[in-house]
Amino acid sequence: MSLLAELKRRNVVKAAVLYVVASWLILQIADVGVSLLGLPDWVGKSVFLLLVLGLPLVLIFSWVYELTPEGLKREKDVDQNLSSTAETGRKINVLIVVLLVLAIATVIIDRLVPESATAVRSPVPDEVEKVIPATGQSIAVLPFVNMSNDPEQEYFSDGISEELLNVLARYPDLRVAARTSSFQFKGQTPDIADIATTLHVNHVLEGSVRKSGNTLRITAQLIEAESGFHLWSETFDRQLTDVFAIQDEISAAIGEALKIQLALSDDTGPSSPTVPVAATAAAFDAYVHGRQLINLRGQANLEQAVVYLEKAIALDESYAPAHAQLAIAYALLSDSPGSYGDLTIEDVKQMAIPHIDRAFDLDPSLAEGFAARAILDLTASDFEASVANAERTLELNPSYADAWNWLYISSMGIGRYVEAGEARKRLLRVDPLSVIGRHNRASKLALEPGQKQAALELADNILRQSLPFGYFTRAQIAYYAGESDEALKWGLKSLHSGPVGAIAADPIGRTMGQLDMLAEALRSIDGAHYWAYLNQRMWPDLIALSRQRLERDTSNANSKLLLANALHLSGDIEQAQVLYEEILATVPGLAIIDQNSESVAPTARAALGRLRAGDEEGARELIELTQEDLRQRRRAEYMHGEYYRAAAIIAALREDNEEALENLERWIEWGPRDPSIFSEPAFEPLRDSAGFQALESRLESILAAQRGNALQMICLDNPVADAWQPLPETCAGVERH
């Protein structure tokens, strides 16, 4: 008998076919499991490798052994007259047919179910869905595909897409999904209907850009999402010098199509919105490159954005958008809360204002110009002006996501908490996948009773887009909940996870100070020093650091407030009051709100300063401002630990010691658990009371337990072991419990 005939007789060939078909099904199941469970890629690769290694074993097994009615036997031990290989072969045939049917069904289902049903979509959590309205007259502009041979031209195709988005946003009746959300689908091929559902739009614009030398081909197609019907499509072959005309042609054609399909208003001025034109294609090229880097944030990206935008202006001094975006980059490089650099306020003003003025000389109705004013005002702590300029930006471009965020922050800065909440919601309407929008939403949820889990789910959702911001959101949720050990873990992960990791200086410094890890805080990052000194109540060091910071940047209102707070908590109320009064003079009729902790406590402290100086009427004025702020927070349901700190100070000033202690207790329950609160001069009359001392001891016990957990974490289960290690003395004697 030939070898092939013997292989067939022993069912080796059929066993091989059965194994291959079964392996294919196992791989499909493994692929789905990896996607749904978020398992690492090596899991699927390992399954494949094991299946490959198993094939020769199956072949050997089927050659050596035979399945008989009495069970498995070695083939040489079976009487050939009693062999059951024929019956076994028929059973294998049935199994092969069944598995092939399943395989064919899997292929059909895979083709019918969109790819986006598993790993492609960036889902919008229920908590975000609640603030997003019905679809209406709306469109999303997807990033045009770069069809050029040079991958480095990616920014150019992105720039074309963003320009079209900005033009369409100027149609009065059309809601345009913001860039951040639309660009989440870059490099993916999800179903158009899924994109529309995620972004809450009913039309999608997609296309491609091919750039070769001076030749440019742009294709674009407008799709009705529900039906998938192409309302309009066009291919444009032009010279690169015609790039602006092409964008105008595309946006005008889309506008006309949408006017017909959606009955949009014709109220767009004397003509359809157009793209601001640069004198040269090279100037536009540098501009879109710089703008893309601004969108990425982070100090290194912003500094590089400045280089490109300065190049754009050198090539075309009369290109208004480049001037405006350069001013925005400078403002984001300031040394102030929420920014990414170390420029002084005066440096920012000297560099940014001439470009803002030039942008308005060239185009008085440029949305980016008003946006530049809004972020510059925010940087300088002129919150009312920032609100006005952000609102004007959004009148011109309702899809300007950054402007909604700056409106939110500025409204918070002047105590307009209800309006701030509306701005936060509007940000998520135009930009449902916005990282900063969902970060703000998660922070708000963390302050609401019973909503911590929803906040954590939202933070995990952010992680899919941005590790630094996702980790930072986790850290902030933990910090405001008084979970210093958890906040430290996520803060360390944020610090070492990407180019904007420096935002983690805040939770790292605060928590290391709370957990008596000063040496670690001082070596982690410069921005952590202030908070570590504060939580350790090291007043001379804190005051010296704050003075140095203010001397370097005398126009920085935030630096002035930090020094005032340090002086006041140290007991130097008179010197602190000088600074508080200077700040109050810049915001007549308004409370001082500390942007670092979203607290009105500085106003309550200034009230104590006036009382000590004998100005009872002035003190009453500040007490009323503080109480009004607290009322507005309750109205907006924006109450967290810092609310109870300010309420406790006011109660002490009114000599209501019982209420002061009750608010201190609520502060401990809510967090953040900052030991410096027990140094508030307003609490001096309470220091010897049993209730006050009991609360201070309670906080010490909580922080001691959390310190033990934190030491276990950084010494034995370090989450960033490849990037950072604690000092040997920090971990001396630490053992696993």
pLDDT digit string, tens, across residues 336-354: 887 888 899 999 999 999 9
| pLDDT at residue 731 is higher than 90 | yes
The three-state secondary structure class of 547 is helix
Residue 331: the pLDDT is 96
How far is the C-alpha of 509 from the C-alpha of 670, rounded, in Å? Answer: 20
How far is the C-alpha of 734 from the C-alpha of 728, rounded, in Å? Answer: 10
Domains of the chain: 3-113 (no CATH), 126-262 (3.40.50.10070), 278-433 (1.25.40.10), 537-687 (1.25.40)
Residue 188: the pLDDT is 73
Region 630-634: mean pLDDT is: 93
Single-letter amino acid, residue 104: I
| pLDDT at residue 79 is higher than 80 | no
Residue 348: the pLDDT is 96
In this structure, are residues 262 and 231 in contact, taking their beta carbons and an 8 Å threshold? no
- Note if the bond before 672 is cis, omega within 30 degrees: yes
Residue 505: the pLDDT is 76
Residue 558: the pLDDT is 92
Residue 486: the pLDDT is 94
The whole-chain average pLDDT of the chain stands at: 82
pTM over 0.75, yes/no:
no
Q: Which of 640, 668, 673, 729 is nearest to 513 (CA)?
A: 673
Single-letter amino acid, residue 439: H
Residue 134: the pLDDT is 43
Chain segment 452-502, per-residue pLDDT in tens: 888 999 899 888 888 888 999 999 899 888 899 999 999 999 888 876 555
Structure confidence at residue 49 as a pLDDT band (50, 70, 90): confident
How far is the C-alpha of 283 from the C-alpha of 308, rounded, in Å? Answer: 9
In this structure, are residues 368 and 328 in contact, taking their beta carbons and an 8 Å threshold? yes
| pLDDT at residue 75 is higher than 90 | no
Residue 641: the pLDDT is 82
